[in-house]
Amino acid sequence: MKQLVILSGKGGTGKTSLAAAFAHLACDGPMPLRAVLADADVDAANLELVLQPCSLEQHEFMGGSKAIIDPAKCEGCDICTQVCRFDAVISPRPNWARGAQGGEGYHVDPIACDGCAACVYQCPTQAIHMEPQLAGHWFRSESRYGPLFHAALRPAHENSGKLVTLVKQQARLLGLDEGYQVVIVDGPPGIGCPVISAASGADLAVIVAEPTAAGIHDMRRALETTAHFRVKSLVCINKADIYPAGAEQIDAYCREHDVEMVGRIPFDATVTEAMVHGEPVTAYRPAEPASQAVRDIWHRVAGHLNHRESKT
Amino acid sequence: MRIAVASGKGGTGKTTVATSLALCLAADRTQTQPAPDPPLFLDCDVEAPNAHLFLKPTFERRQEVGLLIPRVDEARCTHCGKCAEVCQYHAIAVLGKKVLVFPQLCHGCGSCTLTCPEHAISEMPDVMGVLESSTADSGIHFARGVMNVGEPMATPVIRQLKKWAAPKPDQVVIVDAPPGTSCPVVESVRGADFLLLVTEPTPFGLHDLKLAVQVGRELNLPMGVVVNRDGIGDGGVDNFCETEGLPILMRIPFDRAIAEGIAQGQPLVDIHPEYRVQFQEMLMRIAKGVSGSAEQITSDESIPLFEATILDFKRKLTQGRNRKD
Amino acid sequence: MKIIITTVSPTIESEVDPRFGRGVYLLVVDPDTMEWQTHPNPGASASGGAGIQAAQFVTEHKADAVISGDFGPHAFEALHAAGVPMYLFDNSRTAQDVIARFKAGQLEQVGAATREDCHPEGKA
């Protein structure tokens, strides 16, 4: 079973729209591949909006813990404030009396708290303990193009990549159990842990680049990241006609770095219309320029998937 | 006053709006006597920073940034395992007679170093990126962080950027946040006086705007919305803003000319100078929406920066303990 | 002699679990006497560093070998540093199969991590 991940570096280049179209083409297109879908963009998960899945299971995801100070045991020695490197301990107001009940004594800002527990171990009166946090949920759903695994991280919670890894793992386990041929992973923007988790173990990455100054800059960083983690990458250009010189720059970069360019998608308002309509663009208006371009790209990507030795 | 520009969804136009805000502030200050400090622009999207493409700063100050990670003196180590016991991230492990440190898992909290009963652990810097800033010759004081490719965590880079490029007391700060709604965004936005959310009027834009609004509520920030590429999708965002009482402070209609200009690194207010007036009006509305005595975030000398070592910590800790006795 | 095998259930008849760091149970068994004990894998529920936690368990129990389906880079580094040989159970189905094949010398020893990971580097 193969793993395909769709990345970009820059946000908003069209990863999710492409992932949805791939899901549709893998299912209904001329080169069918049985696919499990995974939305790895757990803090802004959008794939379900164009796949309209039915929810089957929901699970809690516990994240890191946060420190809580017991005011009854706190003697105001200030060690926790000095030890904390995340500015998470809030000192009390000047007229707060040590050992007093009520009023604002020493307390921890749960948003700033990193969960390191240094304060717990250094507190001389054991007044601090850690409490695990519900960080989000992950879901198993069924879409018309295949099973979908996705998640919703609670806003302001830590996204260290663990939830991404969990979503992919679940997709992979189901895929292996039921004989699917590929896991299609809709990746997050950026290049940090969530992206690294999304890309790890992938047989192939498709980088969706946009031909803008920012898009080209971030595509390079995305390619450096996949190279660093030894994931073979292909590049496609979305909204290619917005800045033809930019598209040429991307072509030149790919040639220089021996990265295959698998297609150009023209700017096409149909993509947004399809999104509003809740469908992949290739299903919504198959004859439009964007859909044709995406079909060609899928043809090449599927060809690569069929020829690669699987990593799993 | 500190304005953080965020979105939830990537690619909605945060950098487009943030850079234009900074340019308008820079232009404004020449109209006032005495001229206020130039605005400080903080590009907090350390994984994929883009603002420099529009503001074109000349970087003069550079500093490596990272975390202090433990280094174990094997001669003093008794393999008691206490360091591994306290580490919440499993970044230090005792295996038989060997102690291993996993820098990519380490959060630089110092807990193992403080805990070791043999004082066998010291700390050393582990570089994960670079901080860069420019002078304000162009009218804007620009600072950013760039995380190294392959590093997992953006948040420590952002945290240190904010301290390193601390503003002057009356300096207006524009923060360009990364996409998403988790830790790096929260760190970028924390301490702001106003959260400006840039969205696009599509189902993806709306879905992620709702998440970004929740972040704003967690942080108790006054919020406003900019609708970019207005006209391309549906009315969902407008309806949501109305229901939630979120002011739409500006609309930027979809315009291919804007897309083409942005593609080439042209700031929005250069492509369409007539938008300057709208940005200025938005700034005034934001200033009114922020309470009068907004607290400024300044550099706190007692918080160790990257260069500090655990010796400083222990010294302060001992001083602290001695003071209380 | 003591070996550790990752399993899905807490008995010697259990099916093997292919993951070292997140395998559900760790079966500790003496292949000569067939005396065994099972423990929940501390790495299975870990939020991070699962392989490291499982490796610590292995060294605390002073195992002479560990057998699983997959060793990530942190697990590999930790076990390698501790000097514990690692083996793959190949297509064995149950713990008993694994023990038999181990005794017959049929299992492959690993010399490097068997997969990439989110955090590929660790330094001593």
The answer on pLDDT for B313 being more than 50 is no
Chain C residue at shortest CA distance from A65? C47
Q: What is the mean pLDDT of chain B?
A: 87
d(CA A211, CA B190): 32
The per-residue b/e assignment along A197-226, b for 16 or more CB within 10 angstroms, e otherwise, is bbbbbbbbbbbbbbbbbbbbbbbbbbbbbb
Q: The whole model's pTM is what?
A: 0.85
Backbone angles phi, psi at A153, to 5 degrees: -80, 140
pLDDT of residue B29: 76
The structural domains of chain B, ordered by start, are 2-65+137-289 (3.40.50.300)
Looking at the DSSP bridge assignments, the partners of residue C3 are C29, C65
The answer on pLDDT for A278 being more than 90 is yes
Q: Is A131 near chain B, with CB under 8 Å?
A: no
β-strands A233-238, B40-43 pairing: unpaired
DSSP string, A188-228: PSSSSHHHHHHHTT-SEEEEEE-SSHHHHHHHHHHHHHHHH
Q: What is the mean pLDDT of chain A?
A: 92
Q: Is A114 near chain B, with CB under 8 Å?
A: yes
pLDDT of residue A259: 96
B308 secondary structure, DSSP code? -
d(CA A17, CA A265): 12
Looking at the DSSP bridge assignments, the partners of residue A65 are A132
Q: Is C124 near chain B, with CB under 8 Å?
A: yes
**C3-109 belongs to CATH 3.30.420.130:** yes
Q: Is C15 near chain A, with CB under 8 Å?
A: no
Smallest CA-to-CA distance from B20 within B3, B37, B8 is with B3
**pLDDT by residue (tens digit) across B75-96?**
999 999 999 999 999 999 998 8
Least confident of B40-49, B305-314, C61-70: B305-314
Residue A50: exposed, middle, or buried by beta-carbon count in 10 A (0-12, 13-18, 19+)?
buried
The answer on pLDDT for B262 being more than 70 is yes
A77–B324 C-beta distance less than 8 A: yes
Share of chain B above pLDDT 70, in %: 88
Task: Name the more confident of B54 and B288.
Answer: B54
The stretch A65-84 carries a mean pLDDT of 93
Q: Is the peptide bond before B34 cis (omega within 30 degrees of 0)?
A: yes
Chain A residue at shortest CA distance from C45? A62
Q: Is C48 near chain B, with CB under 8 Å?
A: yes
The dihedral of CA B184, B188, B193, B195: what is its sign? Answer: negative
Angle at A268 between CA A264 and CA A271, to 5 degrees: 100
Radius of gyration for chain A, computed over Cα atoms and rounded to the nearest angstrom: 23
Number of C-beta neighbours around residue A236 at 10 A: 27
> What is the amino acid identity at position B45?
D
d(CA B258, CA C41): 56
Which chain C residues touch A162 with a CB distance below 8 Å? 47-48
The stretch C65-84 carries a mean pLDDT of 91
- pLDDT bin (cut points 50, 70, 90) of residue C43 is confident
Which chain B residues touch A196 with a CB distance below 8 Å? 150, 152
The answer on pLDDT for C124 being more than 70 is no
Smallest CA-to-CA distance from A95 within A76, A67, A71, A68 is with A76
Task: Name the more confident of A308 and A110.
Answer: A110
**Shortest Cα distance, chain C CAs vs residue B103, angstroms:** 6
Q: Which fold has domain A2-52+144-307?
A: Rossmann fold (3.40.50)
The answer on pLDDT for C56 being more than 50 is yes
DSSP string, C31-91: TTT--EEEEE-TTTT-SS-HHHHHHHHHHHTT-SEEEES---HHHHHHHHHHT--EEE-TT
CATH class of the domain at A63-134: alpha beta
d(CA B282, CA A115): 38
Reported ipTM = 0.88
Token pair recorded at residue B193: 């006086």
Give kind and range of the element (H or E) at residue B303: none
Which chain B residues touch C82 with a CB distance below 8 Å? 95-96, 98
Task: Name the more confident of A209 and A161.
Answer: A209
* Domain edges within chain A: 2-52+144-307, 63-134
Which chain B residues touch A278 with a CB distance below 8 Å? 203
Question: Any idea which residue has 């102690």 for tokens?
Answer: B99
Angle at B190 between CA B169 and CA A78, to 5 degrees: 85
Q: Is A225 near chain B, with CB under 8 Å?
A: yes
The per-residue b/e assignment along B91-120, b for 16 or more CB within 10 angstroms, e otherwise, is bbbbbbebbbbbbbbbbbbbbbbbbbeeeb
The answer on pLDDT for A114 being more than 70 is yes
- Helix, strand or coil for residue B273? coil
Nearest beta carbon to residue B114 from set A86, A118, A221: A118
d(CA A41, CA B204): 12
Chain C residue at shortest CA distance from B81? C56
Share of chain C above pLDDT 90, in %: 60
Q: Who contacts C112 (Cβ-Cβ below 8 Å, separation ≥6)?
A: C76
Task: Name the more confident of B92 and B293.
Answer: B92
Token pair recorded at residue C64: 């002479």
pLDDT of residue B307: 28
Least confident of A134-148, A163-177, B283-297: B283-297
Contact yes or no for B48/A9 (Cβ under 8 A)? yes
Chain C residue at shortest CA distance from A159? C47
